[in-house]
Amino acid sequence: MPAPRSCTPLLQQDRLGNGDCTNQERLANGVCKKRDRPANGDCKNQDRLANGDCKNQLLARRQFILQHRKSLPIASVEKRLVEEVRNNDTLIIVGETGSGKTTQLPQFLYNAGFCYDEKVIGITQPRRVAAVTVAKRVAEECNVKLGEKVGYSIRFDDMTSNSTRIKYMTDGLLLREALLDPFLSRYSIVIVDEAHERTVHTDVLLGLLKKVQLARSKQHNIIKENANYRENSRSLSQGAKYTSLKLIIMSASLDAKCFSEYFGGAKAVHVQGRQYPVDVLYTYQPEPDYLDATLITIFQIHLEEGSGDILAFLTGQEEIESVERLVHERIRQLPERNQNLLTVPIYASLPSEQQMNAFKPAPSGFRKVILATNIAETSVTIPGIKYVIDPGLVKARSYNPVTGTESLIIIPVSKAQALQRSGRAGREGAGKCFRLYPENEFHKLIDSTVPEIKRCNLANVVLQLKTLGIDDIIGFDFMEKPSRMAIVKSLEQLFLLGALSDDYKLSNPVGHQMARLPLDPMYSKALILAVEFKCLEEMLIVVAMLSVESIFYFPREKMEEARTARKSFSSPEGDHITLVKVYRTSAECLEKSKITNGKEKSIEKKLNKWCRENYINYRSLRHARDIHSQIEGHIQQMGFSLSSCGDDMQQFRRCLTASFFLNAGMKQPDGSYRALASGQTVQVHPSSVLFRTKADCIIFNELVRTNQNYVRNVTRIDPLWLPELAPQYYAAHS
DNA sequence: GAGCACTGC
């Protein structure tokens, strides 16, 4: 794949093949070197070793790390890269997989003196796990304790200190920091990594960084003009609060040009990667049934190709389960010597213990076929993959701003995604990728996935920008502008929630309070209202529980047991109060085990056991508890007192009505509901406790379109409460 | 009587 036109290739002469090499390219590129593996010199469990042995091991480990660092493709261009950063305020770095850019560049810049005046180099990642693992790795390479010179900061987990100079974090967290420090004054450099993924956070961050950079360089110039030029630059910058901000955008290859254009023609450089070649094969004809084609390909590989595990990309849990069944059926029909094939499913909602199965090596003599969603595209890297099967489809979220409906639809992948998938076969050696569509179809795919900002609800984005003093949202310099309709709808929603005043500026205090809370704006508003309704304790539990993936877990084979377990929590009033009951019962269970055994690990184990017994998703509940305690902290800082409505659940339901009035529904004669805001016909989702009870009037939290429109998290209310508690909306409508 | 890819504060 050629480097984009605006790219300066660094070291192209010895570039290895990348993830999408054809045979010819592979020959031209020569033989790949085997990757160095760091030795596992862990001393912790080796107390019995003499002290000297341990020291030797540590020394060996350090030696190994040093060698590994030197061998990375990026190592040989350190000087040039540092020079480019000195000479350019904004630099785009196109780095292929395995170049070492994420771990090495911050160290190069630190050593080159970019952390003057206690300034920090910030590196953002789209995912929490990446921020943590990379920070750990770099701390080890620097031979420092994590949290000192090198640290990370993600939600619920801050491993930084005053001495931290290289800070890895999620992009969303840096956005939150910007709300408190709009000039990002602690940072001398911000590196936005994996920018090609174009998450909402990345896109908003890029727009913001562009603005901050301009503002800081203006400030810097004013200070420079007023200062005495004979002084050295160090004392100059000491006097200045804002020195200029260096910006580095790191991306995978395809779209360097659009970043460069957005940043006024910023320079882009290319760093080679280290990937083994992957042969890409296509089908001759389009496949009418991609599941069947996947199945055939799995067995074709298993029976005809050499050893190595298979990774097949499917769109969801249901597909994975059905392909798994079919594979098992066909294995049984094979001669016994060929039955050495093992299936392993992996998708996000699978409990972590089961997810781990994908990482275990197959028993000797067996081949593993991993059936995965796009969790295996970027979020997890499974070792041992030699063959990739890519039907070329993905389940993607789409959002209709007019109706406020979210839906998940199966669409073709983008070229970038297809490359990412095939690259998974070339991590440890040469591999093969079977694309289950003809080659000409590949060329018809869009270059890169539509950025998330163009297909999601923007209420939160708008609220954050308003907080940063950016009032003209429609005129804001987005890298890719969301539709005008989407922006207008979110402005309207925020106005109705009282976050914006009549002139569409952030209102005081409600708008500012809402912006401080890391929640969906509607949930923030619910908390603020709960203060008046004196049910803050209950509402805090509800918003924490609503903010996570589904709390209840329904395994197909134990449907009945799961249903009985849930019945013990369910409230006739609806799902919200049911969630409160679950939370409170789990908290009681925790309290009890705290009294009997104070050790944190055994308390967590107890909670885990309680969750299994009650068919509750432990991960989700854990997450909800984290959110609960974080928001509780914010609420206390804001001076709200934690009131409870006790047994007066009517008060609580009135508060739900006042908060979620935009999501109200009226029963129709046929038992379906009419969503009042959009006029759509919706059904209560079968997972709701109100599925059978047909209340006259309901409020809900989610409207999802699958086969039909479903509303989830539903509570029964009195229709008269709507005009009473939300006159700004229902007085005009009734 | 349904089913929901993946992230993030």
Q: Do A305 and A375 reside in the same domain of the chain?
A: yes
Same domain, A99 and A247: yes
pLDDT at A650: 94
Domain boundary among A434, A450, A466: A450
Q: Is A151 helix (H, G, I), strand (E, B) or coil?
A: strand
Q: In what order do the strands lie in the sheet with A278-282?
A: A278-282, A431-435, A385-390, A309-313, A367-372, A341-346
- The SS3 of residue A167 is strand
Please give the nucleotide, over all strands, whose C1' is closest to the CA of residue A346.
B5
- Using the predicted structure, report yes or no on whether residue A528 has a pLDDT greater than 90: yes
CATH number where A155 lies: 3.40.50.300
Give, as ranges, the nucleotides of chain B with any atom within 7 Å of a protein CB: 1-9
The rounded mean pLDDT for chain A is 85
- pLDDT of residue A38 exceeding 70, the answer is no
Structural domain boundaries enclosing A709: 660-734
A224 strand B contact, CB < 7 Å: no
**A596 and A667 fall within a common domain:** no
Q: Which residues of chain A between 178 and 217 are close to nucleic strand B, CB under 7 A?
A: 199, 201
Mean pLDDT of A440-468: 91
Split at pLDDT 50, 70, 90, the class of A227 is low
Give the nearest nucleotide to A520, CA to C1'.
B9
Chain A 661-700, CB < 7 Å to strand B:
685-687, 691
Please, which residues have CB within 8 angstroms of residue A139's CB and are 6 or more apart in sequence?
A145, A146, A147, A148, A149, A150, A151
Does A708 fall in a domain? yes
Gap from A396 CA to B2 C1', in Å? 19
Give A349 CA → B3 C1' in Å. 12
| Average of per-residue pLDDT across A461-479 | 92
pLDDT of residue A88 exceeding 80: yes
Q: Nearest nucleotide by C1' from A200 CA?
A: B8
Q: Which nucleotide is nearest to A320 (CA to C1')?
A: B5
Distance in Å, residue A229 CA to nucleotide B7 C1' = 48
Is A653 contained in some domain? no
Domain stop point among A271, A302, A327: A271
In the predicted structure, residue A187 carries a pLDDT above the cut 90: yes
Angle between helices A618-637 and A600-613 (to 10 degrees): 120
Q: Specify the pLDDT at position A24.
A: 25
Q: Are residues A178 and A293 in the same domain?
A: no
A574 phi/psi in degrees, rounded to 5? 140, -170
In angstroms, the CA of A407 and the C1' of B3 are apart by 13
Q: Say whether both A331 and A253 belong to one domain.
A: no
Protein CA A628 to sugar C1' B9 (Å): 13
Nearest nt by C1' to A174 Cα? B9
In a domain, A669, yes or no: yes
Whether the per-residue pLDDT at A3 is higher than 60: the answer is: no
Q: Give the nucleotide nearest to A707 (CA→C1').
A: B2
- For A291-294, the CB contacts below 8 A with 24+ separation are A291/A319, A291/A322, A291/A323, A291/A326, A291/A391, A293/A391, A293/A436, A294/A323, A294/A389, A294/A391, A294/A436
- Check whether residue A687 and residue A717 sit in a common domain: yes
Number of domains in chain A: 4
Same domain, A258 and A161: yes
Kindly state the percentage of chain A with pLDDT values over 90.
54
Residues forming a β-bridge with A407: A398, A705
Residues 580-639 of A with CB under 7 A from strand B: none
Of the listed ranges A364-368, A376-380, A475-479, A491-495, the one predicted with least confidence: A376-380
pLDDT 10s digits, A410-435:
899 999 889 889 989 988 899 999 99
Give pLDDT tens digits for A290-348: 999 999 999 999 999 999 999 999 998 888 988 999 999 999 999 999 999 999 998 88
